[in-house]
Amino acid sequence: MNRDFLAPLVPLYRAAFAAKNVVYDRTWRTPDRLSWPVVSVGNLSVGGSGKTPLVIRLAQLLSAAGVHVDVLSRGYGRTSSDVARVNSAGSAELFGDEPLLISQKTGVPVYVGASRYAAGLQAEREFSGTGVHLLDDGFQHRKLARDFDIVVVHASDFEQQLLPAGRLREPLSSLRRASAIVLRSEDAALEEKIRQRGIRSPVWLQHRRLLVEAQSPAVAFCGIAHDQDFYSALKTNGVELTATRSFRDHHRYADFDIDTIVHLCQTTGAKVCVTTEKDLVRLSPEHRAKIASVVHLEAARLEVSLTDEPAVVRQLLALHVRK
């Protein structure tokens, strides 16, 4: 949707956000600090940039290194704001789609709550030793102190305006606060644009691989921020798409949506219906069964890795030792 008509409001948003950052930068307000080190994974824009797959990978790396790690998340889209530990067998309505997916894929404790500080306190109470908190979508959540700020940047961020006219929550200059900036490997050339802005934070490259067993022809659907990235990746993997259907990020699927997807499968000759893992956790058992009664339903798996993972682990382990 074109939101250029909202451009006159951008200076007001910029001023409000700058004032908030000044409050914390000049320590006029002290953020809440947990006992364990906090590693934040965030971004600059509204919607997906690849934070969740990176949180999953970092949790896997730290766990493999013998560190107790948990994830703290707001739990966007859940029906409650209270602090809760995610049950991997639960629903996206109770815990949010991303926390539920993180729990299912990593097995580490995941805590959700409007107050990430309260969630962290509960995590520390439930484990007798020490560990590391991964703060999901934490770059703008400055109420909670962090020891390391990882910011995932999407190529489209360089073309966006600030809210409300665009999707940027903060200007690109805010990357100066980052401890590390993550770019997709295919976007490595964007590092030069970052350096041209006087930003010296180290850049980590993220390699992404979509694993899909779907046979062509297929219908694809998703409710994520960058839907075309998903469809392009499917085509790169040799999947012939007969139709696609996109929904808003974090979309809560209704019966009508499922009827639409089933109709597409029936009328386009599709043998498979493929979606993302994040969308799959938002489908009720009844919705999954309805699609599966017509065609095979599959969730394509996204795996990510970083260029020099041993160095990343050493850097994060140093935080654990210092604390």
Annotated binding site for ATP: 45-52
**Both tokens of residue 119?**
């969630």
Neighbours of 191 (CB within 10 A): 16
Length of the chain: 323
Question: How far is residue 217's CA from residue 173's CA, in Å, rounded to a whole number?
Answer: 44
Spatial distance between the Cα atoms of 35 and 16, rounded to a whole number of angstroms: 31
Q: Taking Cα atoms as reference points, which of 45, 100, 93 lies closest to residue 73? A: 100
Both tokens assigned to 26 = 């000049």
In angstroms, rounded to a whole number, what is the distance separating the alpha carbons of residues 79 and 114?
A: 11
Query: Which residue in the block uniquely carries the two structure tokens 């999954």?
Result: 288
Cα torsion 187, 168, 47, 58 to 10°: value is 60
**Binding-site annotation: residue ranges:** 45-52
Residues 270 and 176: beta-carbon distance below 8 Å = no
Q: Report the alpha-carbon distance of residue 162 to residue 283 in Å, rounded.
A: 32
195 phi-psi bin (left φ>0, alpha ψ -120 to 50, beta other): alpha
